[in-house]
Every structure is written in C-alpha cells, then in structure tokens.
Structure 1
Amino acid sequence: MPVPRTTLTAVAAAFLALSLPLVVAPTAAAAATGGAVPVARIAAAPATVTVTGEGSAVGEPDIAVVGAGVEATAETTQTALDAQNKAAAALLKAVRALGVAERDIRTENVSLSPVHDYQEGQSTLKGYRAAQSFSIKVREVAGTGALLKAVTDATGDAGRIHSVAFDLDDRRPLQARAREAAHDDARAKAAQYAELSGHHLGRLVSLSEGDTGYVAPMTATAPAEGVGAVPLAPGEIRATASVTAVYELD
C-alpha cells in the first residue's frame, strides 16, 4: 500500500526536530509515488577519549612579608603605652629609611593588657603590657635581612620579629603557566590513546578546569635577638592546575 506523502513529511519533520540525521534509501523518490517506504537511520556518534591533564610551574619569590612589632611592660598603663609608642615610632622610622613605601606598611594589632604573677594559687598584678604589630612588605627580597636588622637595631629589647613569608606579588602569570602545562599534558595523553587505538586525534569537544593550587615557602620565624645574622632562604613558589578534556577520535 503506498505511503501518503504527508506521512513521509511527518517522519522527516520528526527526525529534524530531534536533530537526528535522516538517511533516505535510494528508492525514496519511488516511495513518494507509491513505491517502497524510505529507510531512516541514525548516524553513529564519533568515538571520543576523555583524559585528565596535570601541570605545574615554579617561580622565585619577588616579595617578602615581614611580621614585626614592639612590646613594652611597665607598672602603669600610661608608662607602658609611652614605651610602646616610642619603640613603634623607632621601628617605623627605620623601615621608612630603607625605602619601604607607606602602602607596604600596615598595623596588624594594638593591645594593652595586665600582667599578673601567679604564685601558690594567688594572682598579683605586676603591671601592664602594651604591644603593637606590623605587616611590612619588602619588594626587594635580597633586602629582607637588612630590614630585620634595622628593626631590631632601632627597637632594642622592645623589638619583636614574628615571621617572614616569601611570596609573589602577582600570582596570575605563574598560575597561567600551570594551566598551559595541564592543557598540553591532556592533549599529549589524548594523542597517545588515539594512536594506541588506531585513530587520529580529532577536535576538542569539551574542556573543564579541575583543582588549582598554589604552594608558597613555609613561613619562617626568627628570634628577636641576633636576627640580623640569621640567613634567609626564599625557596620557590609552585602553582598547579588540572583539566579534564574530551577529544573526538577520527
């Protein structure tokens, strides 16, 4: 029985709506005039390979962040504050004399607290402790040791060096290099799998970023006394990245 033209049109429209390729048998023209019914089939999806790429990049620190401060203890709050203020002013003067910009000096904490002596279960007020801490960014890593010495020389027994952390002022270029390495690693893996399976590597279908990381040298702590003689080792900064890529296989 011949298939009506409207039926053929409806079948074709249904396949197009589903975005499926419609392959019509050579007798399709005859079917329209009462011959065989057209044969429609879905084209096979191309083979794909999914891989994960990992990459990293290293760089030398270009800044150091120094945690420094002053501390003074006295019998009264005013005396403690006066001593702390004097030491803090000396610290800031020494830091500025080395060319550290105002934007790279930040007060982190100011405190004033009582000091007690505990003996035989009893507490006795001995005085008050005033302290102030600063974060100082050194933009010439090689000058970090000189800054530490300048701080301790200027503040004497009131000076405190809490930490030294090396880092990059702008982490983005290093992270970009890690992403590039991860992308290249994924493509190399996909190409190998294509060769092993007797295919050629086709187009990139999808790419998604996974975990990224940033590892800076561990923060170093230094004693307040004799800090000028402490050698410093900046180490290196490492950025990592991972991607998941899907490629077609031709």
Structure 2
Amino acid sequence: MKKLFGTLFILTSAIALSNETPTISVTGTGSVSGKPDTFNIVATVETINKNSQTAINENTTIINNAMELLKKAGLKESDIKTENYSLNYRNDYNAKDGEMKYYVRNQLMITSKDLEKAGTVLTALNNGGVNNIGEINFFIADRKELEDKAYKLAYENAKAKASLIAEIDNFKISPKNIDLNYSMPRPISFMLNSAVKADDAPIPLTVPNDVDVTASMNVVFYMEK
C-alpha cells in the first residue's frame, strides 16, 4: 500500500505540474520629458582640528557665513536647511604621522523654485567658505502627472514585448503580477574650480530645458491558448 500511495502521489503531482498556466516575465520602460521648476543643491562643510571645540567653531562659522550670504542673495530661510551633522575622532591620513584629529561635518540643503538663482547660490556657498559642493539636481516638484504617463508607457512597452513572444505559438496574455520602479533624474555633478574668483558674480551654470521622468516595471503575464 505504501508503494501504491507513493506512485499515485507522483502521478498526481505530474498532472498538476502539466496543468500549470505558463508565464512570461518582461521589463517595460517609459519616459516623458518636462520643464524643471525646482533645483536642489547639497553642500558639505568639513573642518578638521586637534581640538574638538576649535573644529566645531570653525564649522559653525562657515555655515553661518554661507547662510547669511544665501539670504542676501534672495533665498528664503525656508529654502535653507542644515542636516547630517557629525563629529568624529579619527586618524588624519593626510598627515605624515597619521595623528588623531576631530572631524566635524555639516550639510547645507538648498531648495528653490527660482532656477535663475542657481549660479548665485553657488557663488554664495563659495564665498562663504563651503569646501564641498556635491551635485545640483534640477527637477519637477509635482511630477505625479508625468509619472502616471511614464508608467502607462512602461506597461504598454512590457505588454508589446510579451505579445510579440506569445504570438509565436498563438498564446494570449493577461497580467499576473506587476512590480513598479521609478527613476529619478540624474543630478549634475559640480566641482568648484580653484580659479573661481570670490566676487558676487553668479557662477555660470546651464539650466536644462527639460528633464526626463522615467518609469520601469517588471510584468509577469499568463500565456493561455
């Protein structure tokens, strides 16, 4: 009886497997363009000193100077935030003996809808003594409508790919599972040149006419006769 039960179980499993509806998994992408209406800049201030209080004071002075210049440039207080403050005690690998020093880091996050002020912001940060300006991101603040269009295009792209394969053996497709993914616009890297003069003239910066809003999705389709 045990042997018969085992054989019956194997046959039943084989029948169940043969009755499974086949599926196909494809990735679709969709992209639409829009005019940017907001920019964002992240600037980092790092000070190093053997004395912790000196490192903290130097960092605070630079942050305050930069914030004052940003306000003079016409930015609102709500456009400027400080974040990711840290104080660490570690080896100074640039020193010959690798002596221990205090490292203080603080970041300025600037966000504004006045795109023409982007170059002026860079100048203010430079003149304020900020030593690391990472990336500038031009984007569309309210991009839901564009995202919806991008997702629709991504699904249509995925469906077209699946249909092309399914038609080879006369299968019809229907969606089983959808995983969404959204891609943020690529930020513009920017490094201040040491030759830049510390005056009030805005640092030249080209504002992009359009930014892409891109969506992708992985879609699993049933394939049925």
Of 129, 132, 150, which aligns to 1:178?
A: 150
**Contact persistence 1:69–1:161 (CA under 8 A):** yes
* Cα distance per residue 1:176-204 (max 9 Å; x no partner): 11122234446777999999999xx9xx9
**Contact persistence 1:214–1:238 (CA under 8 A):** yes
CA distance in 2, matches of 1:104, 1:123: 36
Alignment of 1:41-190 (within 5 A): 54-60=28-34, 61-73=36-48, 76-97=51-72, 98-102=74-78, 104-111=80-87, 113=89, 118-119=95-96, 122=97, 130-153=104-127, 155=128, 158-166=129-137, 167-185=139-157
Alignment of 1:5-24 (within 5 A): none
CA distance in 2, matches of 1:85, 1:213: 37
Please state how far the C-alpha of 1:149 moved relative to its aligned partner: 0.8
* Cα distance per residue 1:114-135 (max 9 Å; x no partner): 775744xx4557x755442222
Corresponding residue for residue 209 of structure 1: 178
C-alpha distance 179-74 of structure 1, shift in aligned 2 (>3 A):
closer
CA distance in 1, matches of 2:98, 2:164: 74
Please state how far the C-alpha of 1:101 moved relative to its aligned partner: 4.3
Of 167, 191, 201, which aligns to 1:222?
A: 191
**Aligned residue pair count:** 193
Please state how far the C-alpha of 1:239 moved relative to its aligned partner: 1.1
TM-score where L is the length of structure 1: 0.55
Q: What SS does structure 1 have at the residue aligned with 2:107?
A: strand
TM-score where L is the length of structure 2: 0.60
Residue type of the alignment partner of 1:178: A
Query: Higher RCO, 1 or 2 (CA under 8 Å, sep at least 6)?
Result: 2
Residue type of the alignment partner of 1:105: K
Gaps of 5+ in 1: 1-49
C-alpha distance 173-246 of structure 1, shift in aligned 2 (>3 A):
farther
Please, which moves more after superposition, 143-152 or 211-220? Answer: 211-220
C-alpha distance 247-100 of structure 1, shift in aligned 2 (>3 A):
farther
Gaps of 5+ in 2: 1-23
Please state how far the C-alpha of 1:169 moved relative to its aligned partner: 2.7
Corresponding residue for residue 34 of structure 1: none
